[in-house]
Amino acid sequence: MSQILVQVDATGVVSDELRNELAGVLAGQDEFGVTVLRGTVLDNAALMGLLHRLRHAGLHVINMDAMPASEPHAVGMAIADDVVTLDLRGRLDDQSASLLDGGQVIQESVTTTVRYRVASGSDLGALLNQVEALNLQLMHLNVIHPKVS
């Protein structure tokens, strides 16, 4: 598999220790205080590892884009009642789709979109673990925070 170009937008600050650990991924903050990480990871497993590491470092992912580095154009974690949309390369069979019980699964010819309501960051972690176990490639992750009145 080719390398994957990735951009992760997160709230929180990357410590010097984490920055050293994430060699090859450039981290900076935009004008709105959002931490932006850009770089290349080896494969889908490394991408999942990056997302898990960011969560454990206390960063909250709000958007992620990923695509194979061979494609010409390139380029969270969730809290209570967030809606997560995952765009995946690959298709789910009926048995695999049932593993994502509670989520809306939309399958197209070569991609799958899953919309899922999560109650906590650990729920999102569990969902990402299921995606990884099903050997699907994560292309995009979007977290929608509900409006608080």
Q: What is the CATH number of the domain that holds 113?
A: 3.30.70.1150
Residues 64 and 104 in one domain: no
Model pTM score: 0.57
Q: What is the pLDDT of residue 21?
A: 85
Q: What is the pLDDT of residue 120?
A: 60
Is residue 76 in some structural domain? no
Q: Among 57, 19, 67, 54, which residue's Cα sits nearest to residue 128?
A: 54
Cα–chain center distance at 55: 11
Is residue 125 in some structural domain? yes
Q: For residues 100 and 116, is the Cβ–Cβ distance under 8 A?
A: yes
Please check the confidence at residue 78 and state whether its pLDDT lies above 50: no
Pick the last residue of a domain from 68, 96, 122. Answer: 68
Name the band, by pLDDT with cuts 50, 70 and 90, for residue 16. Answer: confident
Residues 57 and 104 in one domain: no
Residue 46: exposed, middle, or buried by beta-carbon count in 10 A (0-12, 13-18, 19+)? middle
Is residue 99 in some structural domain? yes
Please check the confidence at residue 149 and state whether its pLDDT lies above 60: no
Q: For residues 125 and 59, is the Cβ–Cβ distance under 8 A?
A: no
Is residue 63 in some structural domain? yes
Is residue 136 in some structural domain? yes
Please check the confidence at residue 15 and state whether its pLDDT lies above 80: yes
Domain CATH for 23: 3.30.70
Q: How far apart are CA 113 and CA 22, in angstroms?
A: 28
Share of the chain above pLDDT 90, in %: 0
Higher pLDDT: 122 or 13? It is 13
Is residue 74 in some structural domain? no
Question: What's the domain range around 95?
Answer: 82-144
Angle between helices 44-56 and 121-133 (to 10 degrees): 170
CA angle 50, 31, 120 (to 5 degrees): 40
Pick the last residue of a domain from 16, 43, 68. Answer: 68
Q: What is the pLDDT of residue 140?
A: 83
Contacts of 17 (CB under 8 A, 6+ apart): none
